[in-house]
Structures are given as structure tokens and as C-alpha cells.
């Protein structure tokens, strides 16, 4: 199963949009933010469209070969 991790990091005056892509097998549990700067963390299957995925990230994932089914 391919899994996508998208994170957003906010630090006072700076905003960083971070994309970390990796494949994982046997993912279990619910991911949680473990610091004061992260806002959200989620796992997504790459077999179906990701809600609200921004166009740049979609293009990047498609170019890298992670999105092939949609």
C-alpha cells in the first residue's frame, strides 16, 4: 500500500508547506502531531483522489510516479 504524508508547519511569522512522500506497508493506528508547531498530519491512499490536494503537489506526485490511477 502506498501512503502519503502531508504536513503543514506554522511558526509565528513563517509558514512552511511540507510534503514528505514515502511508501509504507502495514500502516496501523492514527498519526498524531507531536510538537507545538505542526497543525495536522494524515495518511492517504494513493489509489483514490486526495481531497483538497493543491495543484502543485498533485503535479509533483504525478511526475514522481506516485499518482498513477487518477
- Whether 18 is in a domain gets the answer yes
- Whether 68 is in a domain gets the answer no
Residue 18 belongs to what domain range? 2-63
pLDDT computed for residue 27 by the predictor: 81
Q: How many beta carbons lie within 10 A of that of residue 6, not counting itself?
A: 19
- Whether 45 is in a domain gets the answer yes
* pLDDT band at residue 1 under the 50/70/90 scheme: very low
- Whether 12 is in a domain gets the answer yes
For residue range 14-65, what is the model confidence (pLDDT) as tens digits? 666 676 677 777 888 888 888 877 777 888 888 899 888 888 888 988 998 8
For residue range 40-52, what is the model confidence (pLDDT) as tens digits? 788 888 889 988 8
- Whether 16 is in a domain gets the answer yes
- Number of domain units in the chain: 1
> Taking 80 as the threshold, does the pLDDT of residue 4 lie above it?
no
- Whether 70 is in a domain gets the answer no
- Whether 69 is in a domain gets the answer no
What is the dihedral angle through the alpha carbons of 54, 58, 64, 66, rounded to the nearest 10 degrees? Answer: 120
The structure's pTM equals 0.55
Amino acid at each position: 500500500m502506498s501512503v502519503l504524508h502531508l504536513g503543514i508547519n506554522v511558526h509565528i511569522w513563517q509558514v512552511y508547506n511540507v510534503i514528505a512522500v514515502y511508501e509504507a506497508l502495514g500502516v496501523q493506528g492514527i498519526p498524531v502531531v507531536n510538537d507545538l508547531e505542526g497543525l495536522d498530519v494524515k495518511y492517504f491512499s494513493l489509489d483514490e483522489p486526495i481531497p483538497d490536494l493543491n495543484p502543485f503537489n498533485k503535479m509533483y506526485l504525478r511526475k514522481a510516479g506516485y499518482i498513477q490511477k487518477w
